Amino acid sequence: MTRHGGEPLLRTSYFRVVIGERELGFAEITPLTSRTQLDTDERRHEYDTVVLRRALTRSTELYDWRRRIADGADDRRSVRIEQLETPGGPTANSWTLVDAWPCRWSGPPFDAQSSAIAVEELELAFADLVWHGQTHRQGG
């Protein structure tokens, strides 16, 4: 699928997440948002938290990270989100959440009348958002 000018439209369903040095699978990521608040004579730059959602497994890795933060540890990590051109293909765009830390972890709701997949959520606060631009290919 292409738009006017021949540049391909990028999908939101092809992505990967790397927390620290470890790639983890996620089903959904909420939007990356940067905003500036205009107060009287001062501008404040802010970033909305980002929520990562994935199917719950027996791994307690995300909960353990949140637990360390709740216990007072300063366990901030870089989180890289890569948008892929195709499944498993080259990176089209990537962003880094700088000094990210989990401000909330949520487990699944339980409902005896549902057969939904159990999902865990990790909400991340972070100090900065960096968009790593890609070199644009010259068309001919």
66 inside domain: yes
CATH number, domain of 62, equals 2.30.110.20
Count the Cβ atoms, other than its own, within 10 Å of residue 92.
16
Residue 6 pLDDT > 90, yes or no?
no
Determine the structural domain holding residue 99 and report its residue range: 15-30+43-132
Is there a domain that residue 109 lies in?
Answer: yes
pLDDT of 133 strictly over 80: no
In a domain, 25, yes or no: yes
pLDDT tens digits for range 45-103: 999 999 999 999 999 999 999 999 999 999 999 999 999 999 999 999 999 999 999 99
Is 48 inside a domain boundary? yes
61/109 Cα distance (integer angstroms): 19
The rounded distance, in Å, linking the Cα atoms of 25 and 18 is: 9
The answer as to whether 79 is a domain residue is yes
DSSP E strand stretches across 56-118:
77-84, 91-106
Number of domains in the chain: 1
- Tell me, yes or no, whether 3 lies in a domain: no
**7 domain residue, yes or no:** no
pLDDT at position 130 over 60: yes
Is the sign of the CA dihedral 69, 104, 48, 130 positive or negative?
positive
Q: Which residues pair with 100 in a beta bridge?
A: 77
Distance CA 48, CA 30 (A): 10
pTM of the model: 0.88
**In-domain check, residue 35:** no
Please state, for a pLDDT cut of 70, what percent of the chain lies above it.
91
